[in-house]
Structures are given as C-alpha cells and as structure tokens.
Chains A and B, each alone.
Chain A
Amino acid sequence: MSSKTMNLVQSINSTLDYMMGKDDSIVLLGEDIGIDGGVFRVTEGLQKKYGAERVMDMPLVELGIVGMAIGMSVSGLRAVPEIQFQDFIFTAFDQLVNQAAKIRYRSGAQYNVPMVLRTPYGGGIRGGLYHSQSGEAYFAHTAGLTVVSPSNPYDAKGLLIKCLRMNDPVIFLEPKRLYRSQKVDVPDEEYEIPIGKASLVHEGDNFTFITYGSMVPTVMNTVSKNNLDADVIDLRTLLPYDGETILNSVRKTGKVIIVHEAPRTLGMGSEISAFISERAIDYLLGPILRVTGPDIPFPYRLEDYYMPNEMRILKAVNKLQQYR
C-alpha cells in the first residue's frame, strides 16, 4: 500500500483536491482561499487547478459566505465554506444555528444541507484574544449540526472524505496549532472514518483520558513520558460523541480525566462528565477531573499559562492516584 508523509495542512489540501476531482458539485468559498491559497495555505493550488468558479475568493462577509454556502447546498451543490479563523464566525452564527441546523427538520426532510464548513480553531500560535478561541461548545449545543475535529493528518483525510459524502451540515474544526507540527504517513488510497466513532490512541488499565484536537499530542506525550497505564480516547467527532467507547474504557479504569483547551464551564468536558455519571457512576473510583483552559478570554503574552500542559495533567493524575 503506497502512502505519503504529510502534515495536517497537506492532508486536508490533498483530500480536498481528491474529492473535488471526483465530485464536481463541491465548491469552495472563503476569504483569501484562491489566489493566496488561504492564510494557512490549506487551499493552496486548488483555484489554479479547478478555477475561480469552484474556488471562490469572497468579499469580507462571513454572514454572506455561510448564507450563500447554505443556499448552494440546498440547491444541488456541496459547498465547503472556509472561515479564516473560527473567532470570526459569529456574524454567521445565525445562519448556522437558524438555517443550516434546522432546514432538514423544519421542511420535514424535503430539504437538507450537505455543507462542510472548515475553520481553524484554538491557540498555540500567539494569536491573542481573536485568533485563538475554541468555540466547539457553541456548535455542539446545536441539534442539526455535526461537529468534528481531527487531531492528525491520517484522521483528517478519512474524516473529510466522510464529511464530504454526508447530507447534513458539518462543522470541521481544524486545530491550527497542529497544522505543521507533525508529519505522518497518509495512505494514497481513499478511506472513510465514520462519524461518531472515537479512536483509542493508547491503551492501558488505570486511567481514561478523553480528549480531542490540539490536546491529543499533549496528552499522548504526557502518557508516554510518564509511562502512564492509560487509555487515551481521541473523540474525533464531538457531536455526536462516541458514548460507547467512553463507557467501555471507564468501566475498565474507573478513573477519568477529560482534557480540552476550551474553557471549562459548559465545555465538552461538562457534557461527557454528566454522561459518564449517568451511565457508569458505579464504576468510578474517584471524581471525574477536567484539565481545560480557564474561563477567561485567551491572553496574548501569557498564552503558555492558558494552554493545558503536562504539569497540569500530572496534577490530575496524582489527585486520582489517591483513589483505589
């Protein structure tokens, strides 16, 4: 089986290329995605290859980009809007929550929205308040949206192919900190990663780490550096999350640490922890702990203190060590 070594940017770029080649209903639209190739170069070369009709450089209006994308997607196209930074999505929030998420339901399934909205999110690039936010909970709180976030180039390809074949709107969150941080082998042939299926990226008996996106490498490094006997679950899909994989692991280890970059209050960790309490409280040996970003805006100069790190994860591990 042939493969290529690539980073996250290259994987998303080549997958978009592959899918556009197969499906002429796919149209990309966004700010600076054409001639410039996107501010993170994710759409590099695609306008040259597929033309400006299929890779549209858009005026500066997120509301219009998303609204148009939804309109295109209810009328035979498969729009792939890019929001340059997730932080700038909010003028389009109405379109996402009140249009994209509700069209199938309100029309009795006469209409549906096969749209994949791509956007970089999260910190780690010294972007300060407005180029660092992790807003996944806003979207995961909205029935009708599917929310995914790959943590590596391999998953990115399989997830993106799957999303580009779905018939409902997807928010595809790209952890920008990981865009160029790792290169892995990505098979040339196509494959799909199912929606709602987590990946068990490390196996062990004493702890269950539940994480996703930018925090997967942080957790994995902590686990291997400290020889932790732990399951590490990379959720990959945030809505609907993989309850079965979570429960299987929790029943085995009885000790749960949820790690995400987004603020703690009403983040993904809140939902997952409630879910575990409802279904597996008898298996728990100690409290479910969360290691997350604090409930403050994302700071510029002190960014390193914001991001969950090895030290904070180990603190949670030590706390749970007391329980047996």
Chain B
Amino acid sequence: MDEKEKLIEAYRAMVLSRTLDKKIVMSQRQGRVGFYTPTMGQEATQIGVSMALKDEDLIFEYYRDVPLMLHRGVQPAAIIDQIMGNSSDSEKGRQMPSHYSAKEHNFMSVQSPVATNLPLAVGAAYSLKYRKKDGLVLTTFGDGSTSTPDFHAAMNLAADFDLPVVFLCENNKWAISFPVEKQTRAEIWKKAEGYGMRGVKVDGNDLLEMYKTAKEELERVRKDGKPVLIEAVSYRMGPHSTSDDPSKYRSDDVKEGSDKDPLVIAERKLKMLNYIDDGIIEGIKKDAKENIDRIFDEREKIPPPTPETMFQDIYEKSNWIIDEEKGEIL
C-alpha cells in the first residue's frame, strides 16, 4: 500500500469508528445497550499509531481503543457483540461493555482497573526479547492513568531492562471530571526522562502528525529495542461514559464538526494533498452508516449466552466447588 492509500484507509477507519460510536451512544439512550465509553475525539491518535504497527506487534490496550481495533481489522460486529454481551461475543458476555479481547489481532483482554495493563506489556516485551522475536509491544492508557503506581513501575522496568515497549498516553485532557492540569504538575511526556527513557509529545488530533511521529518512534524502538513514552494530546469529545454528565464539570466542549474535531482536521489535510474530495468523503460516510446500521440490527438479535457458560473458563479444568455451585444455581 502506498502512503496515499494508507491514509485514505486510515480516514475510512476514522469514519467507521465515529459512526459506530454514535450508533452505540444513541442505542444506549434508547435502552438497547447497557453502557459504553465513547471514543469520539481519539480517532487520529489511535489510528495514527496503528498505521505504524506490524502484524506481529502485541497490544495491551485500554477501554477507549475502538478506533485502533477497527483499523487493525477487528470487525464492527465483534465490537457490537462485546457491547451486547451476546452468545457470539468472544468473551462470552462476561465483561461490561467497552472491555474487549481480540487475540487474533494481538489485542490483550481489557480490564477496568486503569493502568494495570502496563506492567503486563513490559512482561510481554520481555517474552519477545527472550525468544528473539520481532515485534514490539504497544500499551495505551489515559492521562489520569499516569498517576497510578502501575504507570511508574512499568516505565521504570521497561527502561531498566531495555525492552521494546511503546507507552502511548492518550491525553484527552480529562479523567472523568478531573482535568489533566490538576492530575500532574509536570508534562506527561517529560516523566519519561526520570526513568532514563525517551519521551515525546505529539498533536493527537492530527492524523498526519500522529502517523509521522509514530512511524519514527516505532522504527526507533524496533531498531534499538528501547522503550518510548508518546504523549498524544487530543480531547475527550464525549462524556466519560454513558453514565456521566460532563455539564456538571466542564464547559469547554469540542463540538463534532468543529475545526478541533480530528475527523475535520484529517479531511482538511487529505483534501489539501488531493487524496480525497467531497465526493469521496460523502461516499465513505454513507458506506459506514449503512454498514453499521445493518450490522447493529443484525447483532442485536443474537441471544445471550446460555447460563452454564458463566461457570466455564475460571480454570483450564473446573473443580468440584464450582461444579457443585453450578448444580445448585441452574
């Protein structure tokens, strides 16, 4: 794929993600979905990095990474199945919406306690190094997550053992109601220096900038096997989750379609390069809408998992305690 095709592909994934996002949020309001953490505003950050990834790379993502997943090839149907927790969901309906697992694309299973994925990413990078395998490990997290002990432990360890880990901080300026200016007095990317590793900051609203930085940084990690912290600054355009009411704590909203919307920025830049025009944009958006509406209606009809599935997979082999409790409950 040449650069032009790559960028159009990336833009298409941004639109797909935005369309899916809006569909799920709307469906939640209609009572068709239980809960969701919108990803609106973080498309350029994630897809810019995804463009620089290789198939063999491992990803320890967090709950707001649908754009990254879609760009890497996870099907919208799989996302919707997880949101519904239906019997086609690869997680068997066990997790709350927004907590995906997609091993076929090297996505680790998502947990809720933030930043606990980071030390795992370091361990996975150690495995790669130990087995002399190609590839790196990408791990993602929010600005709020940089306050956790896990973040600091993971950065220190990755640097200490010279491991190929890309720490992508998706700074969307907010951790629920808490703004990043209060979260820390330091700039996030600068924290890397304290652990003896490289840190960079990039405009995460701008797909092209993001891609350029990610390409350079990931190439470096592949070459010298040392970690990097990338702070990508964007904005959480939606509420923290469908249970959240941001009007209680902020008024500096970035509206969809405004010139701070990463989708609008990407359109402007790709038009300037003559890669797309209004006709192409319209076509991509129409396709996405038709696809998502159709897939959503289809997946919604899938029944829930059968009750006995909740007693599976606690261990490789069940034990008598679980078997007995299953018998009592079912």
Contacts and interface: CB of A to CB of B under 8 A. Distances in A.
Interface string B307-330: 101110010000001100110111
Interface string A293-307: 011110111100110
B111 A130 contact: yes
Interface string A47-60: 00000000001111
A36 B248 contact: yes
B145 A60 contact: yes
- Among A63, A126, A294, the most chain B Cβ lie within 10 Å of the Cβ of A294
A4 interface: no
Interface in A109-131: 126-131
Interface stretch (B19-27, B177-185, B227-235, B270-278): B177-185
B144 interface: yes
Given A36-B177, A59-B183, A295-B325, A126 B96 contact: yes
A60 B183 contact: yes
Contacts of A126: 34-35, 96
Contacts of B94: 128-129, 297, 299-301
A131 B96 contact: yes
Given A60-B147, A91-B150, A301-B93, A31 B176 contact: yes
A37 interface: yes
A128 B175 CA distance: 21
B243 interface: yes
A302 B86 CA distance: 10
Interface string B88-111: 000001111101000000000001
B112 A294 contact: no
Contacts of A36: 176-177, 248-249
Contacts of B99: 128-129
A180 interface: no
B123 interface: no
Nearest to B304: A301
A66 B99 CA distance: 27
Nearest to B91: A300
Given A35-B249, A302-B304, A302-B305, A294 B175 contact: no
A312 B96 contact: no
A317 to B, nearest CB: 14
Nearest to A36: B177
Q: Contact size class for A?
A: 35 or more
Contacts of A64: 147
Contacts of A294: 311, 322, 325-326, 329
B149 interface: yes
Contacts, number: 122
B148 interface: yes
B148 A60 contact: yes
B113 interface: yes
A299 B326 CA distance: 14
Nearest to B96: A128
Contacts of A127: 96
A59 B113 contact: no
Nearest to B98: A128
A268 to B, nearest CB: 17
B307 A87 contact: no
Contact of A300 (B96, B148, B178): B96
A63 B149 contact: yes
B312 to A, nearest CB: 9
B243 A306 contact: no
Contact of A305 (B97, B144, B307): B307
A128 B96 CA distance: 5
B74 interface: no
A323 interface: no
Given A130-B96, A312-B329, A60 B309 contact: no
Contacts of B112: 87-88, 128-131
A300 B307 CA distance: 11
Contacts of A34: 177
Given A32-B176, A127-B96, A297 B314 contact: yes
A39 B244 CA distance: 8
Contacts of B84: 301
B310 A305 contact: yes
B128 interface: no
B113 A315 contact: no
B149 A305 contact: no
B242 to A, nearest CB: 12
Contacts of B78: none
Contacts of A270: none
B8 interface: no
Nearest to B115: A60
Given A296-B325, A297-B94, 9 more contacts: A32-B176, A35-B248, A128-B99, A130-B111, A294-B326, A300-B95, A301-B305, A302-B307, A305-B330
The 3 A-B pairs with the shortest beta carbon distances in the complex, nearest first, are A128-B96, A130-B112, A301-B93
Interface of B: 34-35, 84-86, 93-97, 99, 111-114, 144-145, 147-150, 175-178, 182-184, 243-244, 248-249, 304-305, 307, 309-311, 314, 321-322, 325-326, 328-330
6 contacts: A31-B176, A60-B183, A126-B34, A129-B94, A131-B96, A312-B328
